[in-house]
Structure 1
Amino acid sequence: MKKPIAFFVHHQGRGHANRTMAVAAEFARDRPVSVLTAGPHLFEGFCRDIEIVTLPDMIGAAVPTPRLYAEPTPQVMHCVPLGLTAMRRTMRTILDHLDARDVGLFVVDVSAEIALLARIASVPAVQIRMHGDRSDIGHVGAYEACVGMLAPFDERMEQDDYPASLRAKTFYSGGLCTSVDGVLSRAEAREKLGLDPEREIVVAVTGGGGSGTPYAPLTVAARAVPDALWLTLGPTHREGHETDFANLRELGWVPSVTDYLAAADIVVASAGDNTVHEVARVGGRLVVMPEWRYFGEQTRKAEALVRLGAAIQAPVWPGDLQGWRDLVARARTLDGTALRGLYAPDAARRAAGWLEGLTDELWHGATEPPAPPVVAAG
């Protein structure tokens, strides 16, 4: 029997879960797969047979006493409050599952502490690589504790400050996009969506992991470039003083983001992993506006995109008319070729193949533990 592969999946947004499903769907059918997560609902309807283990949701859990709350966080860790019953249950559930299933590889997406826990428990782990300023002892310790890292992006997107020793144990799958909708031509997409075939269209999109695209700057954009149609996909964040304009429409969540991206002349987007690769998949002109994330994750990813000529970026959301006109003019000079090259259609399959191959390599030649001695009845 093949060694099981288990995933720890963070439940903030949908990106971690969607990535896990995309990879797990490519595993051999006789490979046992399990997922440990505080967001089991994110896997509803997944077609592959997997075991779901529900973990406590510790976000916002209260520390029981002021004295416990006052204890400083050790530098080797990031989020380890003291006195939380839910945290003990989480760690116990993870360890019990890894032990009971005799897991061969634990894929952590993402948590430095869980990666360290796996090593302490003598379970080989792989950490999903993310961009950001992660040279602190906590991140480096977690990376060193792992048998490898999986980067779901093109190696050209890697940061210069990522140590060579860690790069050597990192597998780059190429740009992994979890969207599977077919990509239409611009004309086909506009006809399907009932959009003007000739008008310039700018689409602003963000995922579900943050507070949404700031709406106020887009009202300035709509005034600055009034001949364009501005559309927003996903959540938006309003401050309460915005004036709406006829050429700016909030669409919210739509059935097929891909169709709107294909219909767009320019896309304004956050620097989330899947968002960037969705735009790359259609070869769009990308204005990347990173959202705040821990360790500057989206900021560092945006820097990589700009460095490769795959996107343009403004230092901040323009608050004036000329700022938007200049940004749109710069975006029109992009042709999408550099960005399209960062998307790999076979990324999920390549990631799955590497994870399965690594698991089999790690356990090649292992023998079953001897059966406990049978004590004869006296």
Structure 2
Amino acid sequence: MKKRISFFIHHQGRGHARRAMAIIARFSPDRPVTVMTADPSLFDGFERSIDLVTLPNMIGAEVATPALHEAAITPSVMHCVPLGVRAMRRTMRLILDHLDDSDAGLFVSDVSAEMVLLARIASVPAVKVRMHGDRNDPGHMAAYECCVGMLAPFDERLEQQDYPDWARAKTCYTGGLCTSDDAVKGKHAARKKLGLPEDQEIIVVLTGGGGAGTPYAPLTVAARAVPRSRLIVIGPVHREGHETDFANLEEHGWVSNVTDYLAASDIVLASAGDNTVHEIAKIGRPYICAPEWRYFGEQSRKAQCLARLEAAIHLETWPGDIQTWQAVFASARELDITNLQMLYSPDADRIAAHWLEETADRLWRGETALEQVLPTAQAND
């Protein structure tokens, strides 16, 4: 029987869960899989058979006493380890009990450095899903060292230049993984479906629900900057109450057919979320990347990498004047979209699934990494 692969899935936003489902769906049908998460509803409707372990939601959990709070000086090798939190003890116990009871062959963390350390201490091979950001701190470096490998759901060309060579050597780059599987229409067909004109520039602003939200005020200035264009916002925005609305700025809210809107667009303005980047790359549109605040500067660092490849315009701050917005849109129109398109891979989910299964099987068959590589090397001699 094949060894079980167990996932820890962070429940903030939807991206971690959607990525896990895309990969797990490509596993062999006889591969046992467990998902451990504080929000199992994220996996509602997932057709592939998995075991779900519900973890406590530790976000906002209170420390038992002020003294414990004062004593909880975070060690450099960790990031979030308060003292005296029962929910944290229960989380660790549930994970350890599962890994022990199921004799899991591989533990995949998407995403937590501490969970990787826990698995390594428990003698379970671990893989960490890579994310961009300033992660050269002792905690992340320790997690990278503890892993039997890392899984990067993006193209290696999008890698940060400060990622250590030794860590790069044990990283599987899948190519850009897009978790949206909706059929991509041509621009004409997409506009016809959405009732949009053929002869007007359409700028789609794609916002999300994983962070503080996209501010509405700068979008009103953007609308003034291009009065002949139509700005369509899909997703939530943050209002301050003083904004002036314009006729060429429309809010469509949450929509189920994001792909249609992107296909209908001439320019896309969006954050630097993993799936967002790759969905725009899949469709191929000039991309203005406005990174949201994230821990360790995750989206800012990714936006820098996109700009280095000339795959997107990096919007470092929201412009507050018409002239700057006009310059931003003009730069976007000049982008070579092939630089972005090359970052998407239609096979990324299959590559990730195959690599994870092969990693688990190789370790438990007893093969070394050298033995795994030698047959190919010998065949080329």
Alignment-mate amino acid for residue 194 of structure 2: L
Partner of 2:8: 8
Residue 180 of structure 1 and its aligned partner are, at CA, apart by: 0.3
Equivalent position of 1:20 in the other structure: 20
* CA 1:119–1:187: 2 relative to 1, 3 Å: same
Could you tell me how far apart the structure 2 residues matched to 1:64 and 1:250 are? 44
Partner Cα separation in structure 1 for residue 343 and residue 238 of structure 2: 29
Would the aligned equivalents of 1:206 and 1:275 in 2 still touch at CA under 8 Å? no
TM alignment of 1:50-65, pairs within 5 A? 50-65=50-65
3-state SS, counterpart of residue 47 of structure 1:
coil
Q: Is the 8 A contact 2:36 2:53 kept in 1?
A: yes
Does the residue aligned with 2:189 lie in a helix, a strand or coil?
Answer: helix
Name the residue aligned to 1:150. 151
**Aligned match of 1:340:** 341
- Structure 2: how far apart are the matches of 1:125 and 1:93? 17
Letter in 1 for 2:49: D
One-letter identity of the residue aligned with 2:58: M
Write the mapping of 1:164-179 to structure 2, written as runs, cut at 5 A.
164-179=165-180
Residue pair 2:291, 2:315 contacting (<8 A) in 1 also? no
Mapped to 2, the partners of 1:139 and 1:365 lie a distance apart of 28
Q: Is the 8 A contact 1:189 1:259 kept in 2?
A: yes
Whole-angstrom CA distance in 2 between matches of 1:232 and 1:48: 33
The 5 A counterparts of 1:158-307 are 158-307=159-308
- The answer (yes or no) to whether the contact 2:291–2:316 under 8 Å persists in 1 is no
Q: CA deviation at 1:48?
A: 0.1
SS in 1 for 2:313: coil
Instruction: State the alpha-carbon separation in 1 of the partners of residues 37 and 28 from structure 2.
Output: 22
SS at match of 2:28: coil
The equivalent residue for 1:97 is 98
RMSD over aligned CA atoms reads 0.9
Q: Which residue of 2 aligns with 1:311?
A: 312
- What is the DSSP-based 3-state SS (H/G/I as helix, E as strand, rest coil) of the residue aligned with 2:276? helix
The 2-side partners of 1:207 and 1:319 are apart by 22
1:365 Cα offset (Å): 4.6
Distance across 1 between alignment mates of 2:152 and 2:336:
26
Provide the residue aligned with 1:40 in structure 2. 40
- Residue 113 (1) aligns with residue 90 (2): no
Query: Is this contact kept in 1: 2:128–2:144, CA < 8 A?
Result: yes
SS at match of 2:30: coil
Gaps of 5+ in 2: 368-381
In structure 2, what is the Cα distance between the partners aligned to 1:61 and 1:356? 35
Between the aligned partners of 2:40 and 2:58, the Cα distance in structure 1 is 14
Alpha-carbon distance in 2 for matches of 1:254, 1:198: 24
Query: Normalising by structure 1, what TM-score?
Result: 0.96
Q: In structure 1, what residue type is equivalent to 2:230? A: L
Q: How many Å apart are 1:235 and its aligned residue?
A: 1.5
> Is the deviation greater in 109-118 or in 210-219?
210-219
Aligned residue-pair number? 366
Once residues 313 and 356 of structure 1 are traced to their aligned partners in structure 2, the CA distance between those partners, rounded to angstroms, is: 36
Kept after mapping to 2: 8 A contact 1:232/1:252: yes
Shift of 1:116: 0.1
For residue 198 of structure 2, what is the amino acid of its counterpart? P
Flag as ranges the 4+ runs of structure 1 deviating above 3 A. none
Residues 225-269 of structure 1, C-alpha deviations (whole Å, 9 max, x = no match): 111100111121111111111111111111110110011100001
Quick check: 1:4–1:33 contact (8 Å CA) kept in 2? yes
Look up the equivalent residue of 1:200 and give its one-letter code: E
Percent identical among aligned pairs is 67
1:371 maps to which residue? none
Letter in 1 for 2:70: A
SS in structure 1 of the partner of residue 200 of structure 2: coil
Structure 1 equivalent of residue 373 of structure 2: none
> For the residues of structure 2 that align with 1:344 and 1:154, how far apart are their CA atoms?
8
Letter in structure 2 aligned against 1:16: H
Please tell me the residue identity of whatever aligns with 1:19. R
Structure 1 residue 315: Cα displacement: 2.5
Return the offset for 1:208: 2.0
Compute the displacement of 1:64 (Å).
Answer: 1.3
